[in-house]
Chain A
Amino acid sequence: MDKNLLERIGIRAQLSVQITGSMLIMLGTATYYLFTPPVKLRGIFKQMEFVGVQSLFIVILTGSFTGMVLALQSFNALQRFGAESMVGPTVALSMARELGPVLTGLMVAGRAGSAMATELGTMRVTEQIDALYTMGINPIKYLITPRILAGILMLPLLAIVTDFVGVLGGYIIGVKVLGINAGVYIGRTIDFVSIDDVVYGLIKSTAFGLIIALVACYQGYHTKGGAEGVGRAATGTVVISCVLILMTDYFLTSIMF
């Protein structure tokens, strides 16, 4: 291995540690300001509406079609062993444990995460963040704290919606299209899915909400270089959030299940 390559790897590693450190400092500062009065509820509700309510349509669409395709696929596989009655639990478990939180995370990263980074990035390059500072208003408290809180609070709620519409979609395909007995479908689902499956899924989605909001805030807040920089911040937010969501999902799954 040549020296230049090692040097480049070293610089990359150093930069990654630096960025991680800065993100954690941002998180710590935002948390501190959450508990420092005055707390501006209006800003928090505005972000909750943006992250949660405005993501609802895309989450319902994604969740319902995923539940439907899961029912179709699992029916094909399970039919070979005469276990069609297991379609319900398969769909419900997959949605609650994995697909609900992960798909919600990926969708919100694409929609709200990129928009957050773009908004903050534009505010940075047009000196609006500096203007806040010069008015004696702490930009972290005013801009970052509400966004991180909204991410943490809204992702689990969106994941519940995804779970619900996914299970509903699976039921419609399983019972109405594929002809599985409704009582068997629901009974089996209740037998195999416990409340823990749903709760663990919600814990995951809380972590994903934190990841999306923190990455978006960091990328947007530290944007440099005009319109090109804003574009880079938005793209970076989606890519980094998605990779981190999938990696975190693996580690959380290995710990919880």
Chain B
Amino acid sequence: MIELIDIKKSFNGRRVLNGLDLTIKSGEITVIVGRSGEGKSVLIKHIIGLLKPDSGKILLDGQELTTMKTKEFSEVLKRFGMLFQSGALFDSMTVADNVGFALAEHTGLSPKAVREVALRKLAQVGLSGSEDMMPSELSGGMKKRVALARAIVMDPEIVIFDEPTTGLDPITSDAIANLILETQRQLKTTYIVITHDIKLTYKIADMIAMLHKGIIIEQGSVDHMRGSEDPILSQFLEGRADGPLSID
């Protein structure tokens, strides 16, 4: 379980996270939704240690992450996998090398064994036969799938997805959503997804949390969120321009 307690973070005097509290249960898909610029990426960067909060605590199974030393934290990071919005594939490496990279660095496996695992993960995301391609030769959807294979290659306990369907066509987006569901059901991993794609959210979420003005204004199951009478939440989930959320 991941607990974020009273997290505050400012950039150049602008408060982005304003005493945020959030609990993410193990073995579930938690989707964090919110408008662009609300700090969703900032939030996940705190969980993975890319950013440190100005104040507040982040606990992973009761262990405080915020005060951990670098060396200790790099061990904790092995429990995480992350899929970046852009894929963040290493453009100097082949697809198989990208997927097997963490294995090659962290385990004593032979290059042959690393490649075998990478091929298995690529097959899991439906990309058999693409192992020797370079990232520049892949389409947007393929990049996301390779990034997913790379994120789950170490069989992590927690996988974080940063806008997994942004920039993809509806069919590829749905395929990615299916893939997220399939891999989560197979591995029983904790998935944290940040997105403003409502269709994806309804399809995959066990739990939804709505981020607005630096705090979680509502958190609950899909049915609970759908039935909410909160005007901000219902405007966002229905994707209406009129309502308390104004267009900047």
Q: Mark A residues whose CB is within 8 Å of B.
A: 122-123, 126-128, 130-131, 133-138
Contacts and interface: CB of A to CB of B under 8 A. Distances in A.
Interface string B76-89: 01101110111011
A134 B91 contact: no
Nearest to A128: B88
A130 B160 CA distance: 13
B74 interface: yes
B91 A135 contact: no
Given A133-B50, A134-B77, A136-B74, A127 B84 contact: yes
Interface of B: 48-50, 70, 74-75, 77-78, 80-82, 84-86, 88-91, 101-102, 105-106, 154
B75 A127 contact: no
B82 A134 contact: yes
B102 A136 contact: yes
7 contacts: A122-B91, A126-B86, A127-B85, A133-B50, A135-B101, A136-B105, A138-B70
A231 B84 CA distance: 23
B105 A137 contact: yes
Contact of B48 (A128, A134, A138): A134
Nearest to B92: A119
B86 A136 contact: no
A216 B15 CA distance: 33
Contacts of B102: 135-137
Contact of A136 (B78, B90, B91): B78
A136 B48 contact: no
Given A135-B101, A136-B102, A137-B102, A130 B78 contact: no
Contacts of B90: 123, 128, 131
A133 B80 CA distance: 11
B77 to A, nearest CB: 4
A127 B88 contact: yes
Contacts of A135: 77, 101-102, 105-106, 154
A122 B136 CA distance: 14
Given A126-B88, A135-B101, 11 more contacts: A126-B91, A128-B91, A130-B88, A131-B88, A133-B77, A134-B48, A134-B80, A135-B105, A135-B154, A136-B75, A136-B77
Contacts of A123: 90
Nearest to A133: B50
A127 B50 CA distance: 11
Q: Please indicate which of the listed interface residues A126, A135, A137 has the most CB atoms of chain B within 10 Å of its own CB.
A: A135
Nearest to B49: A133
Contacts of B50: 130, 133-134
Nearest to B76: A136
A136 B106 CA distance: 9
Q: Please indicate which of the listed interface residues A126, A128, A130, A131 has the most CB atoms of chain B within 10 Å of its own CB.
A: A131
Contacts of A130: 50, 84, 88
A123 to B, nearest CB: 8
Closest 7 CB pairs of A and B: A136-B77, A127-B88, A131-B88, A134-B82, A135-B102, A136-B74, A127-B84
A126 B74 CA distance: 21
A66 B154 CA distance: 55
Nearest to B71: A138
Contacts of A128: 88-91
A251 to B, nearest CB: 35
Nearest to A29: B70
Given A135-B101, A136-B102, A127 B48 contact: no
A138 B77 CA distance: 11
B95 to A, nearest CB: 14
A138 B71 CA distance: 9
A133 B82 CA distance: 10
A128 B89 CA distance: 6
Given A136-B74, A136-B78, A138-B74, A131 B105 contact: no
Contacts of A137: 74, 102, 105
A135 B70 CA distance: 13
A138 B78 CA distance: 12
